[in-house]
Amino acid sequence: MDTFYSQLKPFTEFSQVSNVNHYTEAPRDWFVLITDVRNSTIAIENGRYQDVNMAGAATIAAALNVMNRTEIPFVFGGDGATILFPPEYLETLRQELVKTQSLIKESFDLEMRIGIVPNKDLDQTKYAIRVAKYQLAPGNCLAMFQGGGLQRAEKLVKEDRSDRYIIAKPFQDDDQRPNLGGLSCRWTPLPSKKGNILTLLVLAHSTGSETEIYSRVLNEISRICNARIRDLAPMQDQKPILRLSFRKIFSEALISKSEKPLPVRLINAAAIHLFLKLAFLANIKIGNFVPKSYLNELTQNLDSRKFDDMLRLVLDCTNDQSEKIKRYLDELYIKKEIFWGSHETNRALMTCLVFSPGQNQHVHFVDGADGGYALAAKQLKEQMRSTNFIK
């Protein structure tokens, strides 16, 4: 197993995310996995954003389980994901993703686009994949990406007409369900404490000054909100609520690896939800799992800020702060320094990957409810189309 990513030294202050010194070139023989829900905007308009989030996170769970939960770089994008992986997993991952694609269609009636692009296919003079590790808490990191390579890989997948990159034909040799172990969505939406959950995408396009632009944007957001970016994450100074929700139990039963009939999977999922509800209420220690400690870790392990050739932020701020941030970003857009998109709501959704809760091996993907990243991306893309900008 190539230890490229596991050996990277993490940085701890998100304001340094655009610093090129934190980034290392990805191995040329690695591959980029791109997944996204086709027509996700329509599903969102039909009130199915939780299903869209679950589908996007499912591809990360499938990949990590295929690779025995080895530390690899990935980023969650709301309606999909981007994952960088070494060549030895190519065929097994391809087959597991086809199973995942079929399960998502069967369970949620969502079409998942999946493509794999060799890093060596990217013109390194124009598009590079550089990777950094941002530490959420000791032993728990998120991957950050720089260099334009991920955007180029996504473009190749979405414009592929030859099936060179798209996984289009299902494998017929195995009809087993994929292993999505660790994936769950058991928490109630996180209400904004300040009045507004602001989801932001910011893409710099002033050639040669991207690092300075991103640093300036982060500093200005911190100044407007009088707080560090990490302290603007949803769920600060509050604890999430584990709710016995049939919809969440049903979703978990649908994606279960078990081959048992759905009613049996529903009973099992409900039993787990009830057991966890009681454990958290009574703070019952189970082995090395301590509910109170887990909740403290959860607030640290929120995937609410990231960088994959653009800034992705989910912020809890006041309505006034939100308006000031949007006005500032619009000024930069008018100056032709950035493209940006936003979405506002009063709560955030959380989709979880929990592999070893007693050992802080869990990450919690945060997105704005009712649209979040997907609708912010729609606005950003409209700005890019209006200026005929090609990245």
Q: What is the b/e burial string over 252-289, where b = at least 16 CB atoms within 10 angstroms of the residue's CB?
A: bbbbbeeeeeeeebbebbbeebeebeebbeeeeeeeee
Give the model's confidence band at 1: pLDDT under 50 very low, under 70 low, under 90 confident, else very high: low
Say yes or no to pLDDT of 240 above 80.
Answer: no
Residue-wise pLDDT for 89-124, tens only, equals: 999 999 999 999 988 998 889 999 999 999 999 987
The pLDDT value given to residue 252: 78
Instruction: Work out the average pLDDT over 357-386.
Output: 85
- Please name the amino acid found at residue 124: Q
Instruction: Work out the average pLDDT over 207-229.
Output: 91
Say yes or no to pLDDT of 207 above 90.
Answer: no
The pLDDT value given to residue 389: 58
How far CA 297 is from CA of 152, 233, 235, 284, 361, in Å, comes to 35, 14, 12, 16, 10
Higher pLDDT, 243 or 190: 190
Give the model's confidence band at 206: pLDDT under 50 very low, under 70 low, under 90 confident, else very high: low
Contacts of 90 (CB under 8 A, 6+ apart): 31, 116
Give the model's confidence band at 364: pLDDT under 50 very low, under 70 low, under 90 confident, else very high: confident
Highest mean pLDDT among 144-153, 156-165, 200-209 belongs to 144-153
The pLDDT value given to residue 342: 97
Say yes or no to pLDDT of 32 above 90.
Answer: yes
What is the Cα–Cα distance from 224 to 320, expressed in whole angstroms?
Answer: 9
Nearest to 141 by CA among 10, 314, 7: 10
Give the model's confidence band at 176: pLDDT under 50 very low, under 70 low, under 90 confident, else very high: confident
The pLDDT value given to residue 198: 97
The pair phi, psi for residue 306, each rounded to 5°, is -160, 175
Helix, strand, coil percent values for the chain (each to nearest 5): 40, 25, 35
The pLDDT value given to residue 142: 92
**Average pLDDT value for the chain:** 87
- Please name the amino acid found at residue 331: E
Say yes or no to pLDDT of 205 above 70.
Answer: yes
What is the Cα–Cα distance from 268 to 37, expressed in whole angstroms?
Answer: 28
Say yes or no to pLDDT of 219 above 80.
Answer: yes
Give the model's confidence band at 236: pLDDT under 50 very low, under 70 low, under 90 confident, else very high: confident
The pLDDT value given to residue 358: 53
The strand pairing partners of 11, in sequence order, are 134
Residue-wise pLDDT for 266-305, tens only, equals: 888 888 778 777 777 777 777 777 777 777 778 888 899 9
> Which range (1-10, 113-122, 170-179, 299-308) has the least confidence?
170-179
Higher pLDDT, 330 or 79: 330
Residues 364, 185: contact at Cβ < 8 Å? no
Instruction: Work out the average pLDDT over 157-185.
Output: 75
